[in-house]
Amino acid sequence: MRGILCFCTLILLEGMAEAVGSSRDCLQAGESCTNDPVCSAKFRTLRQCIAGNGANKLGPDAKSQCRSTVTALLSSQLYGCKCKRGMKKEKHCLSVYWSIHHTLMEGMNVLESSPYEPFIRGFDYVRLASITAGSENEVTQVNRCLDAAKACNVDEMCQRLRTEYVSFCIRRLARADTCNRSKCHKALRKFFDRVPPEYTHELLFCPCDDTACAERRRQTIVPACSYEAKDKPNCLAPLDSCRENYVCRSRYAEFQFNCQPSPQAASGCRRDSYAACLLAYTGIIGSPITPNYIDNSTSSIAPWCTCNASGNRQEECESFLHLFTNNICLRGWRGEAPAWLHSFVLRDLQPSSRFLLGSLSAADVASHHSCCAEPPCDVRQGRHTPGRDSICVGFFTEQPGQ
């Protein structure tokens, strides 16, 4: 069922540049705490509390002391600190974050949030690329995944880091018919952390109409090494492994935070940002819970695992798996934009990003809603100024499941 989504949005930021929130850096917060005798003493106590299996092995008095220590640190510079994805000493930064936010003590998960600093974009163009991007009825001879690979090869960083991870992922270990998955995953994380999303999203979320295109898309992360295995384990195994690693635990928390479905949200996604969700999705590639397209005939994704034989953790397992297989935040909406918006956005995007809008056909929406009939006068005259102009945007959308 096709519906009409028409909204007016105010572009508040200058250009397309990424801006980072003003959260405190956990590395700096940790250093400040170390230089404060009171904070430093309490932080050392907290470290002792969470060593090994945490306070569950300690006596009642020790548990009480641990709780009071956490409470005291909530008013210190450590509380509210964040880390940056792909930063130097990321693991160290995250260890500080999780010391406060996930104490490993029963009933002491202090806050459910993302460990990483938020990002803001002037025009949420990444929303136009989703795992189900493009139109099923579109007739095209263009292989957008091939175009994405060509665009990556033109950019020095994208080409270099893509070549690097492919090299690690296809290399076989001596005297073994297996790859070094650890090095493959590390190279993949480096690629998705350092290469701008206008390239990584093109490679991962390019719309496909045929199996050749879809197979190229599926092969993006070299799944034979990074994703597949001889047998599918129970999903709880890679999930538990992920939780034991600061980086993977943080990437998964970021994914949960930004990709959590919500029937109360207008978009069906709690954070109302497909862009943030897709970026969080790329963050878990190269981890124990790496997801990928399950075949070359659909746009369905999942980690390489199953929920068979989950025992009394069946619900937990299915909840994890459904976050990939049945998630509106990942599916997004298929959309069409009016011709004026199409040309306007193409002008502002980098050349390599323009293909994201290639599947958006010109749509005359004037008969459906007056606000979407035409662009503002200054846009028609080519005088758009990011950060000031009110843009009326009309989208035809097809909502999943209708």
Tell me which of 211 and 367 has the higher pLDDT.
Answer: 211
Measured distance CA(7)–CA(395) in Å, rounded: 8
Strand partners of residue 19: 120
Tell me which of 124 and 306 has the higher pLDDT.
Answer: 306
Tell me which of 38 and 387 has the higher pLDDT.
Answer: 38
Sorting pLDDT into bands at 50, 70 and 90, what band is 182?
A: very high
Sorting pLDDT into bands at 50, 70 and 90, what band is 246?
A: very high
Mean pLDDT calculated for residue range 138-165: 88
Confidence (pLDDT) at 232 = 96
What does 78-91 look like in DSSP terms, one character per residue? TTTEEB-TT-TTHH
Closest CA to 292 of 390, 198, 224, 381: 224
3-state helix vs strand vs coil in the chain, percent to 5:
50, 10, 40
- State percent of the chain over pLDDT 90: 43
Contact, 395 vs 371, CB < 8 A?
no
Confidence (pLDDT) at 54 = 53
Contact, 195 vs 157, CB < 8 A?
yes
Confidence (pLDDT) at 120 = 55
Measured distance CA(43)–CA(38) in Å, rounded: 9
Query: In angstroms, what CA-CA distances link 129 with 99, 354, 358?
Result: 36, 11, 10
Measured distance CA(254)–CA(248) in Å, rounded: 10
- State percent of the chain over pLDDT 70: 66
- Name, in order, each residue with C-beta under 8 angstroms of 306's C-beta and a sequence gap of 6 or more: 232, 233, 234, 235
Contact, 346 vs 354, CB < 8 A?
yes
Tell me which of 159 and 398 has the higher pLDDT.
Answer: 159
Confidence (pLDDT) at 365 = 30
In the chain, the domains with their CATH numbers are: 2-19+334-398 (no CATH), 22-101 (1.10.220), 131-331 (1.10.220.110)
3-state secondary structure of 12: coil
Q: Tell me, what DSSP letter sits at residue 221?
A: G
Tell me which of 325 and 386 has the higher pLDDT.
Answer: 325
3-state secondary structure of 267: coil
pLDDT of 391 higher than 80? no
Tell me which of 395 and 312 has the higher pLDDT.
Answer: 312
Confidence (pLDDT) at 317 = 97
Mean pLDDT calculated for residue range 25-49: 89
Confidence (pLDDT) at 215 = 94
Contact, 134 vs 207, CB < 8 A?
yes
Tokens, residue 122: 């002037």
Confidence (pLDDT) at 24 = 83
Confidence (pLDDT) at 216 = 94
Question: pLDDT digit string (tens) for 69-79?
Answer: 878 887 788 88
pLDDT of 12 higher than 90? no
Spell 11-36 as b/e; 16+ CB within 10 A means b.
beeeebeeeeeebebbbebbebbeee
Question: pLDDT digit string (tens) for 293-309?
Answer: 999 888 899 999 999 99
Contact, 380 vs 155, CB < 8 A?
no
Closest CA to 233 of 287, 292, 307: 307
Sorting pLDDT into bands at 50, 70 and 90, what band is 254?
A: very high
What does 36-101 look like in DSSP terms, one character per residue? SHHHHHHHHHHHHHHSTTGGGGS-HHHHHHHHHHHHHHTTSTTTTEEB-TT-TTHHHHHHHHHHHH
Mean pLDDT calculated for residue range 38-53: 80
Confidence (pLDDT) at 126 = 44
Mean pLDDT calculated for residue range 14-24: 41
Confidence (pLDDT) at 23 = 60
Measured distance CA(260)–CA(258) in Å, rounded: 6
Measured distance CA(298)–CA(34) in Å, rounded: 52
pTM of the model: 0.73
Mean pLDDT (the chain) is 73
Measured distance CA(237)–CA(317) in Å, rounded: 10
Query: In angstroms, what CA-CA distances link 148 with 105, 201, 253, 285, 293?
Result: 46, 9, 29, 18, 17
pLDDT of 110 higher than 70? no
Measured distance CA(134)–CA(127) in Å, rounded: 12
Cα 133–137–141 angle (5° rounding)?
A: 80
Sorting pLDDT into bands at 50, 70 and 90, what band is 270?
A: confident
β-strand 119-120 against 19-20: which pairing, if any?
A: antiparallel
**How many C-beta atoms lie closer than 10 Å to residue 326's C-beta?**
13
Confidence (pLDDT) at 189 = 97
